Structure 1
Amino acid sequence: MAVSPEGTPCWADAMFGDVEAAKSFYGDVLGWTFGEASSEYGNYTQAYVDGKAVAAVVPPMPGQEGQSAWCLYLASPDAAATAAKVRENGGEVLMEPMQVGEFGTMVLAREPSGAVFGVWQGGTHEGFEASPQQPGAYCWAEVFTREPEKTDTFLSAVFPYRVKELKDDAVDYRMFDVGEDTVLGRMKMGDEFPPEVPSYVNVYFNVADCDEAVEKATKRGGVLRFGPMDSPFGRFAALSDPQGANFSVIDISTTTGEMPQTGDVS
Protein backbone atom coordinates (compact mmCIF):
# COMPACT_ATOMS: atom_id res chain seq x y z
CA MET A 1 0.00 0.00 0.00
CA ALA A 2 1.45 3.36 -1.01
CA VAL A 3 1.91 6.26 1.40
CA SER A 4 -1.23 8.41 1.40
CA PRO A 5 -1.18 11.82 -0.31
CA GLU A 6 -0.60 14.79 2.00
CA GLY A 7 -3.71 15.71 4.01
CA THR A 8 -5.39 12.34 3.55
CA PRO A 9 -6.63 10.58 6.72
CA CYS A 10 -4.27 7.65 7.11
CA TRP A 11 -4.67 6.27 10.65
CA ALA A 12 -6.80 6.40 13.81
CA ASP A 13 -6.12 5.39 17.38
CA ALA A 14 -7.53 5.98 20.85
CA MET A 15 -6.33 5.89 24.44
CA PHE A 16 -8.42 3.87 26.89
CA GLY A 17 -8.05 3.53 30.63
CA ASP A 18 -9.34 -0.02 30.24
CA VAL A 19 -7.85 -1.35 27.01
CA GLU A 20 -9.26 -4.85 27.48
CA ALA A 21 -12.79 -3.46 27.79
CA ALA A 22 -12.25 -1.35 24.65
CA LYS A 23 -11.02 -4.41 22.75
CA SER A 24 -14.06 -6.37 23.82
CA PHE A 25 -16.45 -3.55 22.86
CA TYR A 26 -15.03 -2.80 19.43
CA GLY A 27 -14.43 -6.45 18.73
CA ASP A 28 -18.15 -7.05 19.19
CA VAL A 29 -19.46 -3.89 17.50
CA LEU A 30 -17.02 -3.65 14.56
CA GLY A 31 -15.71 -7.21 14.27
CA TRP A 32 -12.14 -6.25 15.11
CA THR A 33 -9.44 -8.67 16.17
CA PHE A 34 -6.30 -7.48 17.93
CA GLY A 35 -2.60 -8.10 17.66
CA GLU A 36 -0.12 -8.41 20.48
CA ALA A 37 0.48 -5.33 22.62
CA SER A 38 3.80 -3.71 21.78
CA SER A 39 5.45 -3.14 25.17
CA GLU A 40 8.27 -1.20 23.49
CA TYR A 41 5.71 1.39 22.34
CA GLY A 42 3.51 1.78 25.42
CA ASN A 43 1.46 -1.38 24.83
CA TYR A 44 0.17 0.00 21.54
CA THR A 45 -2.22 -2.63 20.15
CA GLN A 46 -3.35 -2.74 16.53
CA ALA A 47 -6.86 -3.73 15.47
CA TYR A 48 -7.50 -5.80 12.34
CA VAL A 49 -10.30 -6.76 9.98
CA ASP A 50 -9.55 -9.88 7.93
CA GLY A 51 -5.89 -9.50 8.84
CA LYS A 52 -5.68 -5.88 7.66
CA ALA A 53 -4.80 -3.09 10.12
CA VAL A 54 -7.66 -0.64 10.67
CA ALA A 55 -6.90 1.24 13.93
CA ALA A 56 -5.16 0.90 17.29
CA VAL A 57 -5.88 1.17 21.00
CA VAL A 58 -3.40 2.09 23.71
CA PRO A 59 -3.44 2.71 27.47
CA PRO A 60 -2.77 6.30 28.56
CA MET A 61 0.76 7.30 29.39
CA PRO A 62 1.31 8.57 32.95
CA GLY A 63 -0.20 12.03 33.24
CA GLN A 64 -2.39 11.58 30.14
CA GLU A 65 -5.31 9.95 31.90
CA GLY A 66 -8.59 11.58 30.99
CA GLN A 67 -11.45 11.41 28.56
CA SER A 68 -11.01 8.69 25.94
CA ALA A 69 -11.16 10.01 22.39
CA TRP A 70 -10.40 8.85 18.88
CA CYS A 71 -7.53 10.64 17.15
CA LEU A 72 -7.40 10.90 13.36
CA TYR A 73 -4.00 11.20 11.70
CA LEU A 74 -3.48 13.13 8.46
CA ALA A 75 -0.68 12.08 6.15
CA SER A 76 2.39 14.27 5.72
CA PRO A 77 5.59 13.78 3.72
CA ASP A 78 7.43 15.85 6.36
CA ALA A 79 5.98 15.88 9.88
CA ALA A 80 8.32 18.62 11.10
CA ALA A 81 7.34 20.92 8.21
CA THR A 82 3.65 20.27 8.89
CA ALA A 83 4.17 21.06 12.59
CA ALA A 84 5.73 24.38 11.59
CA LYS A 85 2.72 25.15 9.37
CA VAL A 86 0.39 24.31 12.26
CA ARG A 87 2.11 26.96 14.41
CA GLU A 88 2.30 29.53 11.62
CA ASN A 89 -1.45 29.30 11.04
CA GLY A 90 -2.75 29.66 14.59
CA GLY A 91 -2.73 26.02 15.66
CA GLU A 92 -0.93 24.44 18.60
CA VAL A 93 1.56 21.58 18.53
CA LEU A 94 0.75 19.32 21.50
CA MET A 95 3.46 16.76 20.76
CA GLU A 96 6.57 17.65 18.82
CA PRO A 97 7.56 15.39 15.91
CA MET A 98 8.42 12.03 17.45
CA GLN A 99 9.95 9.17 15.54
CA VAL A 100 8.29 5.85 16.36
CA GLY A 101 11.06 3.40 15.53
CA GLU A 102 11.03 2.53 11.84
CA PHE A 103 7.23 2.85 11.69
CA GLY A 104 7.14 6.59 11.05
CA THR A 105 6.99 10.02 12.69
CA MET A 106 3.99 11.44 14.53
CA VAL A 107 2.80 14.86 15.66
CA LEU A 108 -0.22 15.75 17.78
CA ALA A 109 -1.79 19.14 17.16
CA ARG A 110 -4.85 21.25 17.90
CA GLU A 111 -6.50 23.42 15.27
CA PRO A 112 -7.59 26.96 16.27
CA SER A 113 -11.16 26.01 17.23
CA GLY A 114 -9.92 23.29 19.57
CA ALA A 115 -10.16 19.98 17.67
CA VAL A 116 -7.17 17.68 18.26
CA PHE A 117 -5.71 15.68 15.38
CA GLY A 118 -2.55 13.80 14.51
CA VAL A 119 -0.03 14.03 11.69
CA TRP A 120 1.70 10.89 10.43
CA GLN A 121 4.77 10.66 8.23
CA GLY A 122 4.74 7.03 7.22
CA GLY A 123 7.75 4.76 7.39
CA THR A 124 7.19 1.01 7.43
CA HIS A 125 3.73 1.68 8.86
CA GLU A 126 1.94 3.54 6.09
CA GLY A 127 -1.53 3.59 7.65
CA PHE A 128 -4.86 1.92 7.05
CA GLU A 129 -4.56 -1.40 5.23
CA ALA A 130 -8.29 -2.06 4.72
CA SER A 131 -10.31 -0.12 2.16
CA PRO A 132 -13.16 2.14 3.38
CA GLN A 133 -15.62 -0.22 1.63
CA GLN A 134 -14.77 -3.03 4.05
CA PRO A 135 -17.03 -3.42 7.12
CA GLY A 136 -15.04 -2.61 10.23
CA ALA A 137 -12.67 -0.25 8.41
CA TYR A 138 -12.30 3.51 8.80
CA CYS A 139 -14.59 5.16 6.28
CA TRP A 140 -14.89 8.92 6.82
CA ALA A 141 -14.23 11.77 9.26
CA GLU A 142 -15.61 15.21 10.02
CA VAL A 143 -14.26 18.09 12.07
CA PHE A 144 -17.08 19.33 14.29
CA THR A 145 -16.29 22.97 15.09
CA ARG A 146 -17.95 26.00 16.68
CA GLU A 147 -15.72 28.35 14.67
CA PRO A 148 -15.88 27.08 11.07
CA GLU A 149 -14.11 30.09 9.54
CA LYS A 150 -11.05 29.49 11.72
CA THR A 151 -11.06 25.76 11.00
CA ASP A 152 -11.50 26.17 7.24
CA THR A 153 -8.73 28.76 6.95
CA PHE A 154 -6.35 26.67 9.05
CA LEU A 155 -6.91 23.36 7.24
CA SER A 156 -6.55 24.96 3.81
CA ALA A 157 -3.30 26.65 4.85
CA VAL A 158 -1.67 23.59 6.42
CA PHE A 159 -2.74 20.98 3.85
CA PRO A 160 -3.13 21.17 0.04
CA TYR A 161 -6.92 20.98 0.09
CA ARG A 162 -9.44 22.14 -2.45
CA VAL A 163 -12.58 23.16 -0.57
CA LYS A 164 -16.21 22.56 -1.54
CA GLU A 165 -19.33 23.57 0.33
CA LEU A 166 -22.66 21.81 0.54
CA LYS A 167 -25.40 23.83 -1.14
CA ASP A 168 -27.89 23.43 1.69
CA ASP A 169 -29.21 26.36 3.72
CA ALA A 170 -30.02 24.06 6.63
CA VAL A 171 -26.44 23.06 7.33
CA ASP A 172 -22.99 24.67 7.29
CA TYR A 173 -20.87 21.87 5.84
CA ARG A 174 -17.68 21.85 3.80
CA MET A 175 -15.64 19.10 2.22
CA PHE A 176 -11.91 18.97 1.58
CA ASP A 177 -10.46 17.34 -1.53
CA VAL A 178 -6.99 16.00 -2.21
CA GLY A 179 -6.69 15.66 -5.96
CA GLU A 180 -9.92 14.07 -7.15
CA ASP A 181 -10.73 12.49 -3.79
CA THR A 182 -12.91 14.02 -1.07
CA VAL A 183 -11.11 13.08 2.14
CA LEU A 184 -12.57 15.10 5.02
CA GLY A 185 -15.70 16.95 6.10
CA ARG A 186 -16.30 19.97 8.33
CA MET A 187 -19.56 20.54 10.20
CA LYS A 188 -20.51 23.65 12.18
CA MET A 189 -21.67 22.67 15.66
CA GLY A 190 -25.13 23.98 16.49
CA ASP A 191 -27.26 24.29 19.61
CA GLU A 192 -27.78 20.52 19.63
CA PHE A 193 -24.26 20.24 21.07
CA PRO A 194 -24.06 21.07 24.78
CA PRO A 195 -21.75 24.06 25.37
CA GLU A 196 -19.28 21.93 27.32
CA VAL A 197 -18.61 19.73 24.27
CA PRO A 198 -15.44 21.05 22.58
CA SER A 199 -14.65 20.96 18.88
CA TYR A 200 -13.52 17.48 17.88
CA VAL A 201 -12.87 15.12 14.98
CA ASN A 202 -15.54 12.46 14.52
CA VAL A 203 -14.44 9.21 12.85
CA TYR A 204 -16.81 6.88 10.98
CA PHE A 205 -16.36 3.14 10.74
CA ASN A 206 -18.08 1.15 8.00
CA VAL A 207 -20.54 -1.54 9.15
CA ALA A 208 -22.61 -4.08 7.26
CA ASP A 209 -25.77 -3.14 9.21
CA CYS A 210 -26.07 0.19 11.04
CA ASP A 211 -29.01 -0.82 13.24
CA GLU A 212 -27.34 -4.05 14.28
CA ALA A 213 -24.14 -2.18 15.18
CA VAL A 214 -26.12 0.33 17.26
CA GLU A 215 -27.92 -2.47 19.05
CA LYS A 216 -24.63 -4.21 19.88
CA ALA A 217 -23.05 -0.95 21.04
CA THR A 218 -25.90 0.07 23.34
CA LYS A 219 -26.18 -3.43 24.80
CA ARG A 220 -22.48 -3.18 25.67
CA GLY A 221 -22.90 0.17 27.45
CA GLY A 222 -22.42 2.55 24.53
CA VAL A 223 -24.65 5.62 24.22
CA LEU A 224 -26.60 6.47 21.06
CA ARG A 225 -26.13 10.20 20.37
CA PHE A 226 -27.85 10.52 16.99
CA GLY A 227 -29.65 8.31 14.50
CA PRO A 228 -29.76 5.84 12.95
CA MET A 229 -30.55 8.07 10.00
CA ASP A 230 -30.72 7.46 6.26
CA SER A 231 -28.72 9.66 3.90
CA PRO A 232 -27.38 9.62 0.33
CA PHE A 233 -24.02 8.56 1.79
CA GLY A 234 -25.41 5.65 3.83
CA ARG A 235 -27.38 4.84 6.96
CA PHE A 236 -25.42 6.15 9.94
CA ALA A 237 -25.52 6.77 13.67
CA ALA A 238 -23.36 8.64 16.18
CA LEU A 239 -22.33 6.86 19.37
CA SER A 240 -20.15 7.15 22.44
CA ASP A 241 -18.41 4.02 23.66
CA PRO A 242 -18.59 3.00 27.35
CA GLN A 243 -15.40 4.95 28.10
CA GLY A 244 -16.72 8.13 26.48
CA ALA A 245 -14.99 8.12 23.08
CA ASN A 246 -17.24 9.45 20.30
CA PHE A 247 -17.43 7.64 16.99
CA SER A 248 -19.95 6.96 14.23
CA VAL A 249 -20.97 3.89 12.26
CA ILE A 250 -22.23 3.94 8.69
CA ASP A 251 -23.59 1.33 6.31
CA ILE A 252 -22.48 2.76 2.96
CA SER A 253 -24.42 0.07 1.06
CA THR A 254 -27.79 1.45 2.26
CA THR A 255 -28.26 4.87 0.67
CA THR A 256 -31.38 7.03 0.42
CA GLY A 257 -31.97 10.14 -1.67
CA GLU A 258 -29.87 12.01 -4.20
CA MET A 259 -26.38 13.24 -3.51
CA PRO A 260 -26.40 16.90 -2.45
CA GLN A 261 -25.08 19.62 -4.72
CA THR A 262 -21.69 21.11 -3.92
CA GLY A 263 -19.84 24.18 -5.08
CA ASP A 264 -16.17 25.16 -4.98
CA VAL A 265 -15.23 27.76 -2.40
CA SER A 266 -13.26 30.58 -3.94
Structure 2
Amino acid sequence: MSAESKGAPCWADGTFGDLEGAKRFYGELLGWTYGDSLPEYGNYTQAYADGKAVAALSPPPPGQEAPSAWCLYLATPDAAATAAQVREHGGKVLVEPMRIGDFGTMVLAADPGGVVFGVWQADAHKGFEAQAVPGAYTWAEVFTRDPAKADAFFPAVFGYGVKHVDDDAIDFSLYDLGADPLLGRMKMGDEFPSEVPAHLNVYFCVEDCDAVVEKATSLGGQLRYGPMTMPFGRFASLTDPQGAAFSVIDPTTTGGEMPKVIDVS
Protein backbone atom coordinates (compact mmCIF):
# COMPACT_ATOMS: atom_id res chain seq x y z
CA MET A 1 0.00 0.00 0.00
CA SER A 2 2.73 2.62 0.43
CA ALA A 3 6.37 3.32 -0.12
CA GLU A 4 5.92 6.51 1.90
CA SER A 5 7.68 7.47 5.12
CA LYS A 6 7.09 5.31 8.15
CA GLY A 7 3.90 6.47 9.85
CA ALA A 8 2.36 8.13 6.79
CA PRO A 9 -1.28 7.16 6.20
CA CYS A 10 -1.18 4.96 3.13
CA TRP A 11 -4.47 3.04 2.79
CA ALA A 12 -7.98 2.67 4.19
CA ASP A 13 -10.40 -0.22 4.05
CA GLY A 14 -13.76 -0.97 5.56
CA THR A 15 -15.22 -4.23 6.85
CA PHE A 16 -18.96 -4.65 6.30
CA GLY A 17 -21.40 -7.46 7.01
CA ASP A 18 -23.31 -6.44 3.88
CA LEU A 19 -20.64 -5.86 1.26
CA GLU A 20 -23.07 -5.12 -1.56
CA GLY A 21 -24.95 -2.65 0.63
CA ALA A 22 -21.71 -0.86 1.48
CA LYS A 23 -20.75 -0.70 -2.20
CA ARG A 24 -24.10 0.88 -3.04
CA PHE A 25 -23.93 3.42 -0.22
CA TYR A 26 -20.40 4.66 -0.84
CA GLY A 27 -20.79 4.39 -4.59
CA GLU A 28 -23.77 6.73 -4.53
CA LEU A 29 -22.33 8.99 -1.84
CA LEU A 30 -18.73 9.40 -3.03
CA GLY A 31 -18.99 8.38 -6.67
CA TRP A 32 -16.87 5.27 -6.22
CA THR A 33 -16.60 2.54 -8.79
CA TYR A 34 -15.27 -0.91 -7.94
CA GLY A 35 -12.88 -3.50 -9.21
CA ASP A 36 -13.62 -7.21 -9.13
CA SER A 37 -14.00 -8.80 -5.71
CA LEU A 38 -11.10 -11.15 -4.99
CA PRO A 39 -12.45 -14.41 -3.53
CA GLU A 40 -8.92 -15.65 -2.80
CA TYR A 41 -8.56 -12.63 -0.48
CA GLY A 42 -11.95 -12.79 1.24
CA ASN A 43 -13.80 -10.86 -1.51
CA TYR A 44 -11.65 -7.80 -0.91
CA THR A 45 -12.95 -5.16 -3.32
CA GLN A 46 -11.00 -2.08 -4.34
CA ALA A 47 -12.77 1.26 -4.74
CA TYR A 48 -11.84 3.94 -7.29
CA ALA A 49 -12.47 7.68 -7.55
CA ASP A 50 -12.01 8.96 -11.07
CA GLY A 51 -10.12 5.78 -11.91
CA LYS A 52 -7.68 6.04 -8.99
CA ALA A 53 -7.57 3.48 -6.17
CA VAL A 54 -8.69 5.22 -2.97
CA ALA A 55 -9.98 2.52 -0.58
CA ALA A 56 -11.31 -1.02 -0.35
CA LEU A 57 -14.32 -2.81 1.10
CA SER A 58 -14.60 -6.39 2.32
CA PRO A 59 -16.82 -8.67 4.41
CA PRO A 60 -15.54 -9.98 7.75
CA PRO A 61 -13.54 -13.22 7.64
CA PRO A 62 -15.69 -16.37 7.40
CA GLY A 63 -17.04 -17.45 10.77
CA GLN A 64 -16.22 -14.13 12.43
CA GLU A 65 -18.58 -11.39 13.45
CA ALA A 66 -17.11 -7.91 13.54
CA PRO A 67 -18.77 -4.50 13.74
CA SER A 68 -18.70 -2.56 10.50
CA ALA A 69 -15.80 -0.12 10.65
CA TRP A 70 -13.13 1.72 8.71
CA CYS A 71 -9.44 0.98 9.26
CA LEU A 72 -6.55 3.31 8.43
CA TYR A 73 -3.14 1.82 7.57
CA LEU A 74 0.16 3.49 8.40
CA ALA A 75 3.22 2.84 6.26
CA THR A 76 6.27 0.93 7.47
CA PRO A 77 9.40 -0.44 5.78
CA ASP A 78 9.36 -3.43 8.16
CA ALA A 79 6.04 -4.78 9.43
CA ALA A 80 7.61 -7.26 11.85
CA ALA A 81 9.79 -4.58 13.45
CA THR A 82 6.81 -2.23 13.80
CA ALA A 83 4.74 -5.00 15.41
CA ALA A 84 7.55 -5.47 17.95
CA GLN A 85 7.54 -1.72 18.65
CA VAL A 86 3.78 -1.78 19.16
CA ARG A 87 4.23 -4.38 21.92
CA GLU A 88 7.26 -2.62 23.38
CA HIS A 89 5.30 0.59 23.88
CA GLY A 90 2.19 -0.95 25.43
CA GLY A 91 0.00 -1.63 22.40
CA LYS A 92 -1.48 -4.91 21.22
CA VAL A 93 -0.87 -6.80 17.99
CA LEU A 94 -4.26 -8.12 16.89
CA VAL A 95 -3.11 -9.74 13.64
CA GLU A 96 0.53 -10.79 13.35
CA PRO A 97 2.48 -9.74 10.24
CA MET A 98 0.70 -11.43 7.35
CA ARG A 99 1.94 -11.60 3.79
CA ILE A 100 -0.88 -10.79 1.30
CA GLY A 101 0.20 -12.38 -1.97
CA ASP A 102 2.62 -10.10 -3.77
CA PHE A 103 0.76 -7.00 -2.54
CA GLY A 104 2.62 -6.53 0.74
CA THR A 105 2.55 -7.39 4.44
CA MET A 106 -0.09 -6.22 6.91
CA VAL A 107 -0.45 -5.97 10.68
CA LEU A 108 -3.50 -5.02 12.71
CA ALA A 109 -2.79 -3.42 16.06
CA ALA A 110 -4.27 -1.28 18.82
CA ASP A 111 -2.76 1.47 20.93
CA PRO A 112 -2.93 1.28 24.77
CA GLY A 113 -6.29 3.10 24.67
CA GLY A 114 -7.84 0.60 22.24
CA VAL A 115 -7.56 2.56 18.98
CA VAL A 116 -7.33 -0.04 16.20
CA PHE A 117 -5.15 0.71 13.19
CA GLY A 118 -3.35 -1.11 10.41
CA VAL A 119 0.30 -1.23 9.42
CA TRP A 120 1.35 -1.83 5.81
CA GLN A 121 4.70 -2.83 4.32
CA ALA A 122 4.23 -2.24 0.61
CA ASP A 123 5.23 -4.46 -2.23
CA ALA A 124 3.12 -4.47 -5.41
CA HIS A 125 0.29 -2.48 -3.78
CA LYS A 126 1.71 0.97 -3.07
CA GLY A 127 -1.40 2.43 -1.46
CA PHE A 128 -3.55 5.43 -2.25
CA GLU A 129 -3.34 6.42 -5.90
CA ALA A 130 -5.03 9.72 -5.02
CA GLN A 131 -5.54 11.75 -1.87
CA ALA A 132 -7.29 15.02 -1.00
CA VAL A 133 -9.44 15.01 -4.15
CA PRO A 134 -13.20 14.36 -4.22
CA GLY A 135 -13.93 10.79 -3.17
CA ALA A 136 -10.46 10.15 -1.77
CA TYR A 137 -8.98 9.96 1.71
CA THR A 138 -7.75 13.28 3.03
CA TRP A 139 -7.35 13.17 6.85
CA ALA A 140 -7.83 11.05 9.99
CA GLU A 141 -8.03 11.58 13.73
CA VAL A 142 -7.33 9.32 16.68
CA PHE A 143 -10.39 9.51 18.95
CA THR A 144 -9.35 8.31 22.42
CA ARG A 145 -10.33 8.55 26.08
CA ASP A 146 -6.67 8.34 27.05
CA PRO A 147 -4.89 11.14 25.15
CA ALA A 148 -1.69 10.97 27.19
CA LYS A 149 -1.16 7.34 26.22
CA ALA A 150 -1.90 8.05 22.55
CA ASP A 151 0.47 11.04 22.53
CA ALA A 152 3.21 8.81 23.92
CA PHE A 153 2.50 5.63 21.92
CA PHE A 154 2.15 6.86 18.34
CA PRO A 155 5.28 9.06 18.39
CA ALA A 156 7.29 6.24 20.03
CA VAL A 157 6.27 3.73 17.36
CA PHE A 158 6.18 5.97 14.27
CA GLY A 159 8.53 8.83 15.12
CA TYR A 160 5.93 11.59 15.03
CA GLY A 161 6.47 15.08 16.32
CA VAL A 162 3.59 16.28 18.49
CA LYS A 163 2.00 19.73 18.54
CA HIS A 164 -0.79 20.50 20.98
CA VAL A 165 -3.59 22.90 20.04
CA ASP A 166 -3.69 25.77 22.53
CA ASP A 167 -7.44 25.83 23.20
CA ASP A 168 -9.09 25.27 26.57
CA ALA A 169 -12.26 24.03 24.86
CA ILE A 170 -10.71 20.90 23.35
CA ASP A 171 -7.86 18.48 23.99
CA PHE A 172 -6.40 18.07 20.50
CA SER A 173 -2.93 17.22 19.19
CA LEU A 174 -1.36 17.04 15.74
CA TYR A 175 1.14 14.36 14.69
CA ASP A 176 3.70 15.08 11.97
CA LEU A 177 6.92 13.82 10.44
CA GLY A 178 8.59 17.21 10.33
CA ALA A 179 6.31 18.95 7.82
CA ASP A 180 2.53 19.18 7.52
CA PRO A 181 0.41 17.31 10.09
CA LEU A 182 -0.46 13.73 9.15
CA LEU A 183 -2.97 12.84 11.87
CA GLY A 184 -4.99 14.52 14.58
CA ARG A 185 -5.69 13.23 18.08
CA MET A 186 -8.93 14.17 19.84
CA LYS A 187 -9.88 13.40 23.44
CA MET A 188 -13.32 11.78 23.63
CA GLY A 189 -15.43 13.64 26.16
CA ASP A 190 -18.85 13.09 27.69
CA GLU A 191 -20.47 13.79 24.33
CA PHE A 192 -19.38 10.29 23.28
CA PRO A 193 -21.62 7.55 24.73
CA SER A 194 -19.72 4.91 26.70
CA GLU A 195 -20.53 2.27 24.09
CA VAL A 196 -18.64 4.21 21.38
CA PRO A 197 -15.13 2.73 21.34
CA ALA A 198 -11.89 4.59 20.81
CA HIS A 199 -11.24 4.65 17.07
CA LEU A 200 -9.46 6.22 14.11
CA ASN A 201 -11.90 8.46 12.26
CA VAL A 202 -11.26 8.63 8.50
CA TYR A 203 -12.17 11.70 6.42
CA PHE A 204 -13.05 11.61 2.73
CA CYS A 205 -12.82 14.71 0.54
CA VAL A 206 -16.03 16.04 -1.04
CA GLU A 207 -16.95 19.04 -3.16
CA ASP A 208 -20.05 20.07 -1.14
CA CYS A 209 -20.27 18.93 2.47
CA ASP A 210 -23.91 19.89 2.99
CA ALA A 211 -25.07 18.14 -0.17
CA VAL A 212 -23.17 14.98 0.82
CA VAL A 213 -24.72 15.02 4.30
CA GLU A 214 -28.19 15.32 2.76
CA LYS A 215 -27.38 12.46 0.39
CA ALA A 216 -25.99 10.28 3.18
CA THR A 217 -29.10 10.64 5.33
CA SER A 218 -31.34 9.92 2.33
CA LEU A 219 -29.38 6.68 1.83
CA GLY A 220 -29.86 5.57 5.44
CA GLY A 221 -26.81 7.12 7.08
CA GLN A 222 -26.94 9.22 10.25
CA LEU A 223 -25.45 12.64 10.91
CA ARG A 224 -23.43 12.63 14.15
CA TYR A 225 -21.89 16.12 14.06
CA GLY A 226 -21.91 19.15 11.81
CA PRO A 227 -21.78 20.38 9.15
CA MET A 228 -19.33 22.88 10.62
CA THR A 229 -16.85 25.26 8.99
CA MET A 230 -13.33 25.54 10.41
CA PRO A 231 -10.03 26.88 9.07
CA PHE A 232 -9.33 23.54 7.34
CA GLY A 233 -12.70 23.18 5.61
CA ARG A 234 -16.38 22.45 6.11
CA PHE A 235 -16.87 18.98 7.59
CA ALA A 236 -19.41 16.60 9.06
CA SER A 237 -19.20 13.30 10.93
CA LEU A 238 -21.51 10.50 9.84
CA THR A 239 -22.41 6.89 10.46
CA ASP A 240 -23.23 4.71 7.47
CA PRO A 241 -26.28 2.40 7.44
CA GLN A 242 -24.20 -0.46 8.89
CA GLY A 243 -22.85 1.62 11.77
CA ALA A 244 -19.37 2.49 10.45
CA ALA A 245 -18.24 5.98 11.45
CA PHE A 246 -16.52 8.30 8.97
CA SER A 247 -16.32 11.98 8.13
CA VAL A 248 -16.44 14.11 5.00
CA ILE A 249 -14.77 17.46 4.39
CA ASP A 250 -14.87 20.14 1.73
CA PRO A 251 -11.40 21.73 2.08
CA THR A 252 -12.30 24.68 -0.17
CA THR A 253 -14.90 26.11 2.23
CA THR A 254 -13.00 27.53 5.20
CA GLY A 255 -13.59 29.97 8.03
CA GLY A 256 -12.14 31.19 11.29
CA GLU A 257 -8.56 31.66 12.43
CA MET A 258 -5.92 28.97 12.34
CA PRO A 259 -5.36 27.55 15.83
CA LYS A 260 -2.23 28.29 17.83
CA VAL A 261 -0.16 25.15 18.41
CA ILE A 262 2.55 24.33 20.94
CA ASP A 263 5.33 21.89 20.10
CA VAL A 264 5.42 19.30 22.88
CA SER A 265 7.63 16.73 21.12
Same fold (TM over 0.5): yes
Moved >3 Å (runs of 4+):
none
Task: Confirm whether residue 109 of structure 1 aligns to residue 109 of structure 2.
Answer: yes
CA deviation after TM superposition for structure 1 residue 113, in Å: 0.3
Q: Residues 2 and 128 of structure 2 are in contact (CA less than 8 Å); yes or no, is this contact kept in structure 1?
A: no
Alpha-carbon separation, structure 2, partners of 1:32 and 1:214: 16
Task: Confirm whether residue 218 of structure 1 aligns to residue 217 of structure 2.
Answer: yes
| Corresponding residue for residue 122 of structure 1 | 122
CA deviation after TM superposition for structure 1 residue 259, in Å: 1.1
CA deviation after TM superposition for structure 1 residue 2, in Å: 6.8
Deviations 1:192-237 (A, max 9, x none): 0001111100000000000111011100100100000111010000
| Corresponding residue for residue 246 of structure 2 | 247
| Corresponding residue for residue 88 of structure 2 | 88
Secondary structure in 2 aligned to 1:81? helix
Task: Confirm whether residue 131 of structure 1 aligns to residue 126 of structure 2.
Answer: no
Q: Residues 221 and 239 of structure 2 are in contact (CA less than 8 Å); yes or no, is this contact kept in structure 1?
A: yes
Q: Residues 2 and 11 of structure 2 are in contact (CA less than 8 Å); yes or no, is this contact kept in structure 1?
A: no
Secondary structure in 1 aligned to 2:230? coil
Q: Which amino acid is the alignment partner of residue 184 of structure 2? A: G
Question: CA RMSD of the aligned region, Å?
Answer: 1.1
Task: Confirm whether residue 190 of structure 1 aligns to residue 189 of structure 2.
Answer: yes
Secondary structure in 2 aligned to 1:230? strand
Alpha-carbon separation, structure 2, partners of 1:162 and 1:103: 30
Q: Which amino acid is the alignment partner of residue 131 of structure 2? A: S
| Corresponding residue for residue 257 of structure 1 | 256
1:199-218 to 2 correspondence within 5 Å? 199-218=198-217
1:1-266 to 2 correspondence within 5 Å? 3-132=3-132, 134-266=133-265
TM-score (norm 1): 0.98
Percent identity, please.
67
Secondary structure in 1 aligned to 2:135? coil
Alpha-carbon separation, structure 2, partners of 1:108 and 1:6: 15
Alpha-carbon separation, structure 1, partners of 2:45 and 2:2: 22
Q: Which amino acid is the alignment partner of residue 73 of structure 1? A: Y
Q: Residues 9 and 182 of structure 2 are in contact (CA less than 8 Å); yes or no, is this contact kept in structure 1?
A: yes
Deviations 1:168-211 (A, max 9, x none): 11110000001313100000000100011111000000000001
Alpha-carbon separation, structure 2, partners of 1:6 and 1:176: 13
Alpha-carbon separation, structure 1, partners of 2:208 and 2:65: 33
CA deviation after TM superposition for structure 1 residue 87, in Å: 0.4
Q: Which amino acid is the alignment partner of residue 239 of structure 1? A: L
Alpha-carbon separation, structure 2, partners of 1:143 and 1:120: 18
Alpha-carbon separation, structure 2, partners of 1:225 and 1:208: 20
Deviations 1:31-71 (A, max 9, x none): 11111001111110000011100000001112332210000
Counterparts in 2 of 1:147 and 1:261: CA distance versus 1, 3 Å? same
TM-score (norm 2): 0.98
Q: Which amino acid is the alignment partner of residue 200 of structure 1? A: H
Q: Residues 13 and 71 of structure 2 are in contact (CA less than 8 Å); yes or no, is this contact kept in structure 1?
A: yes
Which ranges of structure 1 fall in alignment gaps of 5 or more residues? Answer: none
CA deviation after TM superposition for structure 1 residue 17, in Å: 0.9
Alpha-carbon separation, structure 1, partners of 2:8 and 2:110: 17
Counterparts in 2 of 1:4 and 1:17: CA distance versus 1, 3 Å? same
Q: Which amino acid is the alignment partner of residue 13 of structure 2? A: D
